[in-house]
Structure 1
């Protein structure tokens, strides 16, 4: 299998600086979306540096990754876990770097970012995630969200401290509980699931998914048109519904090799 992708980012209708950053590499099957945390100084530096750190991390470990992919394709269950750890360690490395930069420069103090990274290799999709950017998989018009929002509202929902009706009305929906660079270490969620030709993936910042009413709208965005049209439609939808934040979308299609 191979992947093809289109990625777009837009400042939106309310912001003057785009604090989102993204990276995509179809040859490696590696994709990243990062969203500088709003209200923090130099969020655009945190997001861009995180993307760059992950790009270099995966480039420098390409031979190790190829070995693990070969083992994974050979049925080694430990290789699946090792690939997840490789991604997790990459995010941790970026976190340490962002925190260190902020410690050295008072103007950067407090900067941080979300991060959602996706690697599609060996018949699997591997995700590493911090914050409230998202990764979706669509298969035969059925949508699965691979990531969990690290937000205060989602935490309260999970622990029964708030009803869905209360959450819909609650302020502070973008208050996150984890971020890359806020401290020198962050808890990273990882996941893996199978991939098949025809699957499509959407990586996006909350500037898009906050305007999606349900999974059916994900299907409407990326289900039928070309991935180029789908990416442009995602940006247009968020702007049409307010564009209050920066908007980033990467649409990926899995094709036969």
Structure 2
């Protein structure tokens, strides 16, 4: 509803309906998936998470962790720890993707040769 301009983010945060699932995998033979295109650039960080994280870790805290140079796995571990330390009353699910620069052409072939493969 926020995405479609029907309610504001503030209204959504206070809504009694905020925890209702609108999409779920496994409930029907066919799943309607929301798909959107967004440009992705080197250095971008993508986060997929449950409200178990967003209700316990502020946007500012989340941004500070995501700006760090640690790997994606370490970032996930740190975010989950922060949510649990803040009281973690719900399950916490987090996935982080750090967009790396594209590898130069032939890089994988070079690495395979270097490691003795073909």
Normalised to the residue count of structure 2, the TM-score between the two structures is 0.64
Cα offset, 1:189, TM superposition:
0.8
User: Which of 239, 243, 247 matches 2:88?
Assistant: 243
Question: Are 2:62 and 2:79, in contact at CA under 8 Å, matched by a contact in 1?
Answer: no
Cα offset, 1:165, TM superposition:
4.6
2:33 equivalent to 1:178? no
Seen in structure 2, the aligned counterparts of structure 1 residues 229 and 183 have a Cα distance that, compared at 3 Å, is closer
2:32 equivalent to 1:159? no
CA distance in 2, matches of 1:180, 1:229: 27
Deviations 1:159-207 (CA, angstroms, capped at 9, x unpaired): 24xx655443333421112222222333211122222222222222222
2:64 equivalent to 1:220? yes
Cα offset, 1:239, TM superposition:
0.6
Cα offset, 1:240, TM superposition:
1.8
Number of residue pairs matched by the alignment? 100
Match of 2:36 in 1: 191
CA distance in 2, matches of 1:212, 1:245: 12
CA distance in 1, matches of 2:97, 2:9: 31
Looking at CA atoms only, which structure, 1 or 2, has the larger radius of gyration? 2
CA distance in 1, matches of 2:9, 2:63: 23
Deviations 1:123-178 (CA, angstroms, capped at 9, x unpaired): xxxxxxxxxxxxxxxxxxxxxxxxxxxxxxx46x8424xx6554433334211122
CA distance in 2, matches of 1:158, 1:190: 18
Structure 1, unmatched stretches of 5+, are 1-153
The Cα RMSD (Å) is: 2.6
Structure 2, unmatched stretches of 5+, are 104-118
Structure with a larger share of its residues in helix: 1
Deviations 1:88-144 (CA, angstroms, capped at 9, x unpaired): xxxxxxxxxxxxxxxxxxxxxxxxxxxxxxxxxxxxxxxxxxxxxxxxxxxxxxxxx
CA distance in 2, matches of 1:195, 1:186: 25
